[in-house]
Structure formats: structure tokens, C-alpha cells
Structure 1
Amino acid sequence: MTVPAHSAVYPLKTVRRAVPRVLSIAGSDPSGGAGIQADLKSIAANGGYGMAVITALTVQNTQGVTAVHVPPVEFLRQQLDAISEDIAVDAVKIGMLGDAAVIDEVRRWLGEVRPAIVVLDPVMIATSGDRLLAESAETALRELLPLADLITPNLPELAMLLSEPEATDWASALEQGKRLAAACGNTVLVKGGHLQGTSCPDALVNTGGLLSQDVVEFAGPRVETRNSHGTGCSLSSAMATAKARLGDWESALHVVKPWLQEALTQSGVLEVGNGNGPIHHFHAHQNALQPGAFAARMWDAAQTELEAIYRLAFIRDLQSGALGEGQFTYYLAQDAIYLNGYSRVLARASALAPSETEQLFWARGAQMCLEVESELHRNWLSGRQASGVQGPVTKAYVDHLLAASASGSYAVLLAAVLPCYWLYAEVGQQLHHGYLQAEAPAEHPYADWLRTYADEAFAEATRKAIDITDAAAQAASPGERAAMMEAFSQSCRYETAFFDAPRLHG
């Protein structure tokens, strides 16, 4: 395949908006399952504001396409110009283009407007097998490929773009993806939906260093359903939206893939048509949580670990003052190491946050770890013998948080970091209350430290962290909420182990 070298048309811009403005340039599906209609649903479901420029009108339903009408290209030009003259477009998804004249017009507009994010779904063949692109337009489509940041072909389309036989296994599909990415100079999303088997992998492929590695694979189960109409349209428009919100393709696919899996799983409830039905774009909204409901679930899940913490000798002796200095010194030394890693994780939460308010909150938390909290530790540890070696529990806890940070899911990351706020604040309040109730003597060795637990600023930050995490859960899919609960519960277990570690190592 001969493809022009990657164009320098697009400036290196990073777009991250809480509600990105996403334009779909695609064909219309009157049955609502694919094309523009699916794109607008997908954009809205993934937190964007959707706009649409129609390239073609189709006569279709869940059983197939029976006719295609391509309006005059001059009308397409008027649509595109009307949008860009008035609205700043954060991301563009390109779907069905119909013929060479339409492709040329879209190419002209891209060169003039230069959107920061362009996702091209090279619609050539419908799920039903109907051809949606004139054979005479294939050359023009190939020339358009280098102007996209992400290309999302299904396996038949990937093979057609390369003029090769269709891949019949995952390894072959990845190799084809590499060849297309190398030829076009962009990122290719290789999709395993057309393969056989119980798994349905996807992979981001880029040989130019734009990803963390040349091939980033995302495993996933195959959803057994006949309702896959518009899956490719929905995936590509969701990726454009998520990229504009999160800033990179890997984070975007971490969010979009579970959303799409659940949209396929829940598709049967729609009962649309007698053929290949649509996916359920708004499954997460149908399963929406009431404010505070997920926070209540997390609090219930934390009770077992809280009870275990209160039974620890370390906690009892810290409150009474009987704790040996060696154990307390070990605890603070490990906490100082932990906070260094925790601050990095909070900085990642700030980077993923969908709003400026949340970005600032997590950034302040990261700063507090490095400045205020670390200073408290240094004051105590100054002049005392303390090992700077990271203990096994500290390492396991930090590794767990870093793994959540790397997942790309803002909601899962928040659930993982929350116990360090919530359980620490709860235990601290109980320790401070018990210290006051016991009327401990002035020579209590840890009096100054216990008094810090009464800090109202930290209590307020904890309440804010709970509210933000609860709100993230409301916007998450059922699958993502399950991952949140697992991450939260694991962090709770590490909190208990962290308090108990001084007994073993101090």
C-alpha cells in the first residue's frame, strides 16, 4: 500500500476538557443504531457535547442497508464551515464518507481548521456486510488516513486498507496494525471483534513512540449478543471524547472498553428490531446511583478493616503512650516513604480529573504530602535512628496505588487513594478522642502527634475526597464500580497491614 508520509498539518496540542465539544462527520442511520445517531449517543454517554455533520443518508434498519444517498458536496461544505466559524471543536470523529468528492471536502476542512484530535473510523463495510464506500473512493480514503491521530478499522477494513487478506488470528491482526501505523504515522486501534473465541482483545498500535510502548493490549471477554449494530461507530466517537477529556489514548481506551462491553451486555433490554440490534449507550445512566449511595457502600465495606485496626496493639499502645519508641519510629519512617509515593499518585489523580476544581484539590493533596506531612515526620525522626529502607508492606501498598494510577480510570484511582484519607481520619479522630477522654498525663510521649489528628483542615479534605469519589462512582459503569470497590477494599486491607507492620519490624 502506498500512503503519503504523515502530514505536519496538526500542531502538537493537548486537549483536556471537562465537557469536550466533539464533532461527528458521518452518515445517518434512521434506525438510530449506527452512524451519526450512535455517535451522538456515544459522545453524550462519555461526557462530551456532540455535534453532527451528515455526509450521507442511508435507508437501513437492524437487518441491513438498502439504499445510500450522498447529498451535494457543496452542502457538506456549508455544514462544516457553519460549525467551525462559530464553535471551537475539541475533537473530530470521521465515519462514513461515501465517495471521493466527500473525502476531498473533509480533507480540505481538516487542513483549514486543524483540530487537535481526529479519529477516523474507515467505514467501508457495515456489520451486516453491506458496502458503504464506493470502490472508486478507496484511494482517496487511503490518502486521508495520515491526517488522523487514531484510525479504528475492523479487521475486514484493516485488510482492505492494506490490500491484504483478512487476519484470522490476533497475532496477524497486530502485525497488520503495525504495518498500517508505520505507513500512516499515527496510532491504530486494532479490534478483535471479528475473531473467534471467548476473548475479545483490543490494542493500540503505534511504532512512532506516541504510546508507552509500540503495542498496548487491552484484554476483555467476548460478549455473546446479536446486538452489535453500530459498535464501531460508538467506539470511535467514544475514543475521541475520552481522549479530549483524559489526554492520552491509553487512558481513553481504559475507560471506553469497559463502557462498550457493558453497552453490549445490556443491549438486550432495548428490544429494537428483528435483526442485529443496537448497543445500549446509556446503560450507566439507567443504572445510576443516588448521591451518597456508593460512599455508603464503601463505608460498609471498610468496617471489617476498621475493627481490625482498633484491635491492633500498635493502636492501643499509641493511644495510651505505652508504644515503644522503636515501633513508632519505624512507623513514621515507613509513612514518610509511603507519602512520597502517595503524592505521585495524587498528582496523577489531578492529571486525570475532569474539572479544574478537582484538579486543584488533588494537586493540593500531593503538595501537602510533600510539605506539611513530611515536615512532621522529619521533626520526629531528627536525631533518631530510622531505617530508610522501604518495608514490604509499604512497597506492596505503594505498588497497589501505582497500579491503580496506571489503570487510566479516574474513578478506580480515587477509590484506591480514598482509604488513606478516610480510614486515617477515622482512626485519628478515635485516637485523639480516646487520648482526651483518658486525661493522659502531660508526659505522654506521643501527645503532640495525637493532637495533629484533630486537624479540621484534614477532616474537611477527607469529606471532600469522599464526595468526589462518590460523584465519580455515579458517572461510572457497573463494571467500573466493581473495580472501584475492589481497589478501595484492597487499600483498606493495606491500611490495616501498615498499622500492624511496626509490631513485626519496629
Structure 2
Amino acid sequence: MTGRGRAVPRVLSIAGTDPTGGAGIQADLKSIAANGGYGMAVVTALVAQNTRGVRSVHVPPPAFLREQLDAVSDDVVIDAVKIGMLATADVIRVVTGWLERVRPPIVVLDPVMVATSGDRLLDPDAEQALRALVPHADVVTPNVPELAILAGEPVATTWDEVLAQAGRVAVRHGVRVLAKGGHLDGEALTDALVEPGGASGPTVTAFRGTRIHTRNTHGTGCSLSSALATRVAASGDWPRATAESRRWLAESIRHGADLEVGAGHGPISHFAGLWARGGTTVPDLGELEAQWWADIAGVRAEIDALPFVRGLGDGTLDRDAFRWYLAQDALYLRDFARALAEAARLAPTSAEQAFWAGSAQNAIAEELRLHESWIGGTALAGTAPGPVTTAYVNHQLAAAARGDYRVLVAALLPCFWLYQDLGERLRAQSHPRHPYRSWLDAYADPAFADAARQAVGIVTQAAAAADERTREAMLDAFRRSAVHEREFFAAPPVLSAGDRRAGRGGRGAPSPSSSSAGGAAAAS
């Protein structure tokens, strides 16, 4: 069941037609179905068009439009309404009056006002009537030129200008605005859900993506707004519905050329995901990476605030604490190398096998050599793993024993990603005579950064291709490793300046050879 108690939202599209099926009501019905809804349609205009352009438009009498709307609402409970092409002021007034009488729970308005050529589609009276309709909507989804008309301002040329216009429209009409950056230049493509907010002004939720180079963009605005109406009717969550609708649209655009429909700007492939996976969308890799990194933002902030990490960064860390940490880290790396070797054994491709095997070799040969140069092989031989080290190793080896390659590599990822991020940032604030410069150099090294990027790429690709249950298990393993990483950095005994002057041990910590030590290096 959905957040609104409906397994299948009933969504009405009020729009014009497209006989080639790529835009208008035909696209709306496909979008509604592809996103899990039951679509209904009321026609506002009959349009003779194809992928190359519009030839003519026939607008049925407004009285007939009213009869269509009443016929639907007299019989069917409507969960959401998507409004598209409204060709004249009289048509807009009929729709406005119907909304005032019926009051559907969700109204998404796609203000079709500007043609692809840049020509305005509505006369001044119709534009004014459309502005009066805006407060009856829950969200409007204009492109950049249409947003300018709603704002009564020149067309924005930068993303900051788009956001500012969207904010003014949102506050003026008390409506959400889905600001879209597709008309702006550049490879990055950002959209934003701008909400009126309160006394502090509009609130903005940004959604970042990458431009898809294709001619198959016919009907993207229609399709996105219909998907949004359907998904928000199902969940009641505007940011979530927006993110899911954008992900679905991007996937549909990428597969549009496969349809081979028309010689102009072809349609998107509304059902590409359904045909390939039975309805489960594949997350965008960049979006997935950002979501996982944001998921552990709190853990990362806690790591940054730890006395050990602060002292490591500014060089004031007690040398005995650092050696104590490295001894535990060396013990961790030996078992970490075993988990890496198991990932190599389970890897589905030769490239991934080579990556994990090489990482295992590096953990044993290179990183252990760095650790032993600080603490010496004799001291290391007398060191027993502490409880934090043991817990972390057990987590990694349990993931390996599970036998699921995807969960295992997710558990290994923080060891690369967190250390690369932390090493680069601490290295940037160090100086040539920094006492721990060799350690910082190792984790800020471009080769390690490249390895971290490869690890992120492997894991996100595996997560994107996995089913939802496995993806959640991967995220849980990743999150647990990040927490173990935090505990590892928290475990070393850190002396205050006063303790060092007095010759006291910090936090009652033993020497590096003691069996109660606890913290290590990487994460997994």
C-alpha cells in the first residue's frame, strides 16, 4: 500500500494530444502506467503533430471539456491530476472552475506556454488566466522560458537566476516549483524542488544529474510531470517522488533511440525499465554514490572531531598514541588482506579480480611495510589485537564468509573511500616537517586516490545492478564498516598537553604491546 492508502494511484491527465504518442495525453498515460498508476485522460485540444513539429490545433468547445471533466469526477475518485496543454483562456477558466469544485488532493501543473522553437503558444489573456490557475496547483513544472513568463521577468541565463525566479513564483502563489535546468548550457544538469517555506524564505531541494546527449527528448516535460503526480500520490513525499521521477525519466531518455520512432526529436522509451526489469528502476551511479556518502555524513563528522584525528592533522598527536594505533592497524591489515583476496576470488570480471588481488598485495606488502617502519617488526610481533580491532576484523570476515560478492565489496569500501578522503584533507593542512608526513603522504597519494575511485565505481555499479534487498544489505555492510572505522580512530590513547608534561598516560592506555589495544587503519 502507498503512503496515501492506495496501491495504485488514480491519476487524471488534462492535456492535448499527440498522434505519434511521444507527448501530450498519450505520453502522460504511458508515464502514469510506467510509474505505477492508473491513467485517465480528458482532452483539451486535438493536435496534428509529429516528431518534427506541430501542424495544426483544434480546440473542442469549452462546454464539451466541462462535460469530460464532470464525467470522470462524477464516477471516479481521483488521487492526482496532471494538467498540460490549455490552449485558450476559456479552456483555462473551465479547468480552474472544475478544480475549485472538485478539489483533487494533488494537482501538478505543467504550464505549456513556449514551443521548442521559442515561440509563445498562448495569447496574453490565456497567459494571465494560467497565472490565476497556478495557486490551485500543488506544484508547477515549468522549463526555463515558461518560468520567466510565470515570474513576469526576462528569461534566466544562470542556475542562480532560475532558483531566484522559482523562489519568487513559489512565494507569490504559495506553490511548489520544480525548477529545471535543461535549457541552460553545460554538462551538469540540476533540477530543484523549490517550496514557499516560511518566514525564512523558500526551501530548496536540489537534484543533480548529467546531460544526456540524444535527439529523443520529445515529451520529456509531459512525462516528468505525469510521473511526479503518480509517485507523489503513492508516497505523499515530494522530494522522494521528484528524485524517483527524475531517475525514471533519465533511464527512459537513455533508451529512447532504441524505439526508432520518427525522423525528428523522437520520444523517450517510457517502459524501458519495465521491459528490462519488470518495473524496478536502476539508480544512477552518481546519485547512488552521493546517497551512500551522505548516509555516513554523521559518522564522518564524528571522525573529524576525534582527538586522535585532530592531533594527527595538526601534528600534535602523541607519538606513543600513533605507534599504538599503527600496531593495531597492522594486525587489522593482515585480515583485511584476506577479505580482499576473497573478493578477488568471488569477483565476476577479470578486471575486478585484478583490482582486489592487487589491493590485497598492497595491504600486505606496502602498507605493512609503512607500519613496520614506524613500530618495528619485533614490537608488532608482541602485539595482540584489541577488542575494537577484533570487532572490525570479524565484521569484514563475516561479510567474506557470507559468499555474496556485492555485500563483501560494500563492506570493504570505507577502507578506501574514508581513508582517501581523510588522508587528502589532513595532508593539505600539513607542512614538510610534519611528524607524520609519511603516513599522510601514503593516503594522499594519487595512486591511492585512483584505487579509491575504482573501488567506489565497482561497488556503485554492483549496487545499481542489484535487487532492492541486496542493495539494502550492501548499504548496511558499508554503514557498519564506517562505524567500525570511527571506533578504530576513537580507540587509541590520546594524551593531553598537560598529561604529556606530567608524564601521565592518557585514558589509562597500555603500551603498544598490550593486549587491550584497539583501533586500526582502514575500514571495510
Q: Which residue of 1 aligns with 2:137?
A: 148
> Aligned pair count?
333
CA separation in 1, counterparts of 2:76 and 2:463?
35
Shift of 1:164: 1.3
Shift of 1:483: 9.6
Candidates 150, 174, 187, aligned match of 1:198: 187
Distance 1:99 1:482, change over 3 A: farther
Deviation string, structure 1 residues 329-375 (Cα, Å, up to 9, x no partner): x97xxx9xxxxxxxxxxxxxxxxxxxxxxxxxxxxxxxxxxxxxxxx
Distance 1:154 1:199, change over 3 A: same
Verify: 1:287 aligned to 2:287, yes or no: no
Q: Which residue of 2 aligns with 1:420?
A: none
CA separation in 2, counterparts of 1:20 and 1:269?
29
Verify: 1:492 aligned to 2:477, yes or no: yes
Would you say the 8 A contact 1:258–1:480 is kept in 2? no
Q: Which runs of 5+ in 1 are unaligned?
A: 1-13, 292-300, 308-323, 336-392, 401-476
Would you say the 8 A contact 1:65–1:130 is kept in 2? no
Deviation string, structure 1 residues 280-318 (Cα, Å, up to 9, x no partner): 111101212699xxxxxxxxx9x84999xxxxxxxxxxx
Q: Which residue of 1 aligns with 2:155?
A: 166
Aligned pairs for 1:60-71 within 5 A: 60-71=49-60
Candidates 66, 72, 79, aligned match of 1:90: 79
Verify: 1:120 aligned to 2:134, yes or no: no
CA separation in 2, counterparts of 1:498 and 1:239?
36
Distance 1:241 1:66, change over 3 A: same
Distance 1:273 1:116, change over 3 A: same
Q: Which residue of 2 aligns with 1:504?
A: 518
Q: Which residue of 1 aligns with 2:196?
A: 207
Give the residue type in structure 1 aligned to 2:142: P
Give the residue type in structure 2 aligned to 1:504: G
Give the residue type in structure 1 aligned to 2:26: Q
Distance 1:493 1:135, change over 3 A: closer
Shift of 1:81: 0.6
Candidates 128, 149, 158, aligned match of 1:139: 128
Give the residue type in structure 2 aligned to 1:33: G
Deviation string, structure 1 residues 448-484 (Cα, Å, up to 9, x no partner): xxxxxxxxxxxxxxxxxxxxxxxxxxxxx99954696
Partner of 1:23, secondary structure, is strand
Aligned pairs for 1:313-352 within 5 A: none
Q: Could you state the TM-score of these two structures normalised by the residue count of structure 1?
A: 0.58
Would you say the 8 A contact 2:34–2:279 is kept in 1? no
Give the residue type in structure 2 aligned to 1:255: E
Distance 1:16 1:118, change over 3 A: farther
Shift of 1:486: 6.1
Shift of 1:226: 1.1
Q: Which runs of 5+ in 2 are unaligned?
A: 281-339, 347-383, 396-410, 419-460, 489-516
CA separation in 1, counterparts of 2:244 and 2:53?
30
Shift of 1:489: 3.0
Deviation string, structure 1 residues 30-56 (Cα, Å, up to 9, x no partner): 111110000000000100000000000
Shift of 1:327: 5.1
Verify: 1:27 aligned to 2:16, yes or no: yes
CA separation in 1, counterparts of 2:50 and 2:237?
35
Distance 1:498 1:17, change over 3 A: same
CA separation in 2, counterparts of 1:149 and 1:269?
35
Q: Which residue of 2 aligns with 1:235?
A: 224
Q: Which residue of 1 aligns with 2:494?
A: none
CA separation in 2, counterparts of 1:86 and 1:480?
42
Candidates 47, 52, 57, aligned match of 2:36: 47
Would you say the 8 A contact 1:206–1:215 is kept in 2? yes
Candidates 242, 251, 254, aligned match of 1:262: 251
Would you say the 8 A contact 1:262–1:479 is kept in 2? no
Candidates 210, 226, 236, aligned match of 2:215: 226
Would you say the 8 A contact 2:107–2:138 is kept in 1? yes
Would you say the 8 A contact 1:119–1:240 is kept in 2? yes
Verify: 1:101 aligned to 2:115, yes or no: no
Would you say the 8 A contact 2:273–2:279 is kept in 1? no
Partner of 2:149, secondary structure, is helix
Would you say the 8 A contact 2:170–2:202 is kept in 1? no
Shift of 1:144: 0.4
Aligned pairs for 1:339-418 within 5 A: none
CA separation in 2, counterparts of 1:149 and 1:480?
32
Distance 1:495 1:178, change over 3 A: closer
If you compute each CA radius of gyration, which structure gives the higher value, 1 or 2? 2
CA separation in 2, counterparts of 1:35 and 1:256?
17
Shift of 1:21: 0.3
Give the residue type in structure 1 aligned to 2:109: L
CA separation in 1, counterparts of 2:189 and 2:267?
18
CA separation in 2, counterparts of 1:273 and 1:283?
18
CA separation in 2, counterparts of 1:483 and 1:213?
36
Distance 1:194 1:498, change over 3 A: closer
Distance 1:478 1:169, change over 3 A: farther
Shift of 1:245: 1.0
Give the residue type in structure 2 aligned to 1:82: A
Give the residue type in structure 1 aligned to 2:205: V
Higher relative contact order (CA 8 A, sep 6+): 1
Partner of 1:98, secondary structure, is coil
CA separation in 1, counterparts of 2:163 and 2:465?
31
Give the residue type in structure 2 aligned to 1:221: T
CA separation in 2, counterparts of 1:92 and 1:233?
13
Would you say the 8 A contact 1:125–1:157 is kept in 2? yes
Partner of 1:67, secondary structure, is strand
Q: Could you state the TM-score of these two structures normalised by the residue count of structure 2?
A: 0.56
